[in-house]
Amino acid sequence: MRYGFIGVGKMGGAILKGLLDSGSISREKTYINGRDFEKTRKQAYDLSIRALESKNELVRFSDVIFIGVEPGAFPDVMPLVAEAYTPEKIVVSMAAGVTIAAIESYLGSDAKIVRIMPNAPARVGEMMASVSVNSNITEDEQKMMISLLSGMGKAAVVSEDLISAVIGVSGSSPAYTYMYIKALAEAAGEYGMDEKEALVFAAQAVLGAAKIVLTECTSSGEDDGQDTVDIDSLIDSVCTPGGTTIEAVRSLKDNDFEKIVKKGAAAAIEKSAAMSRDSEH
């Protein structure tokens, strides 16, 4: 398979590098195209892949085409993709708010289209990505896409109508998590701890807590002999009566911590839904 990447910004670049580093795609069969050819050529040299000057050429050469441009650039980019697109090629979009139907309006109803919603931890091999497909994607092609993305973390098939929820819970949430880690480190700093050291303590605590949730609160679908636990029981397990943790939890609850987080996620979800509606008009 030959892979083409159009637009290699932060997320597109992270996906490209992750796929190359994991060995999921071949450097000899990978091409990129960007707005600034000289910059793109340097990027290609650094990755030991090939830069192409035109989108037409990239589409013709590639079996799977990743579209990594901003949603606002789709009206300019997609007509150029459509010029060389043929229905046996798979187009993968990672743009928030650009629906499969909107992409089909450029490429035709017989186009093979995949929408993915990755997140920033792709940069460190801990990505969570959703995969949504149109009816032209075969089961084998869907499995191929899951396999490709799983090399950078985890990937799961999600109905397209749930993508906005995915954005709220994982696509945008690294930013909320960074804010939480920053606040923890700053609190420790105010009590005399070096803030850089505190940042490590806070980040490692979040990493460990997340691993416990994945291990104990979710099911992999395999019979490992362990029952999943409710996340509230994990909260309770850390809270000793009369201790420090329960004091912090009470303060967070009194200040509507969970409600604030939900409101932030809901804002991202509503924005994504509005963008999706706009992309079809």
Domain residue spans in the chain?
A: 3-159, 171-276
E strand or H helix at 238, and its extent?
helix 231-238
Query: Are the CB atoms for 1 and 148 separated by under 8 Å?
Result: no
Residue 216's identity, in one-letter code, is E
pLDDT at 221: 46
pLDDT at 281: 64
Task: Please return the burial class of 91, using the count of CB atoms within 10 Å of its CB with bins 0-12, 13-18 and 19+.
Answer: buried
pTM to 2 decimal places: 0.89
pLDDT at 276: 86
CATH class of 171-276: mainly alpha
CA separation for the pair 74, 279 (Å, rounded): 9
89: its two tokens: 């090629």
- CATH topology for 3-159 is Rossmann fold (3.40.50)
- The owner of tokens 């990743």 is 66
pLDDT at 220: 54
What region, left, alpha or beta, does residue 148 occupy, with left being phi > 0 and alpha being psi -120 to 50 degrees?
A: alpha
E strand or H helix at 68, and its extent?
none
pLDDT digits (tens, 9 = 90+) for 222-241: 555 567 889 999 999 999 99
> What length does the chain have?
281
pLDDT at 277: 85
Query: Are the CB atoms for 44 and 13 separated by under 8 Å?
Result: no
3-159 matches 171-276 in fold? no
pLDDT at 278: 81
pLDDT at 160: 95
Print pLDDT tens along the chain (281 aa).
999 999 988 888 889 999 999 899 999 999 999 988 999 999 999 999 999 999 999 999 999 999 999 999 999 999 999 999 999 999 999 998 899 999 999 999 999 999 999 999 998 989 999 999 999 999 999 999 999 999 999 999 999 999 999 999 999 999 999 999 999 999 999 999 999 999 999 999 999 999 999 999 986 545 555 678 899 999 999 999 999 999 999 999 999 999 999 999 999 999 999 988 887 76
147: its two tokens: 């396999």
